[in-house]
Amino acid sequence: MTSGPQSSGPQPSWRKPAGMFLILLLITLWAVIIGSLSPWIGQLHALLQGVIYIIAGIVWILPLKPLLSWMETGRWRP
């Protein structure tokens, strides 16, 4: 038997729940922005609308790389 407190392994980081919250906030904010632009986008040609929505569907992912890096390492840059 050993005396003293037993360690059950590494403690979970607060960065992961905070990062998940920020990701959900980013998605919500991006959806509101794109949704508010839809009356103007809806007046464009259908092919142009498709291109805009494809680009908008990809662009929100770009800020996730540094955020995910921060969640794992605690630094904004890898």
Report helix, strand or coil for 5. coil
Whether pLDDT at 69 is above 60 = yes
Query: Could you tell me the pLDDT band of residue 78, with boundaries at 50, 70 and 90?
Result: low
Distances (CA, A) of 52 to 27, 36, 37, 41, 59: 17, 14, 11, 8, 10
pTM of the model: 0.71
Overall average pLDDT of the 35-59 stretch: 95
Which are the contacts of 32, defined by CB distance < 8 A and separation ≥ 6? none
Q: What is the pLDDT of residue 36?
A: 96
Closest CA to 30 of 57, 68, 10, 67: 57
Q: What is the pLDDT of residue 76?
A: 78
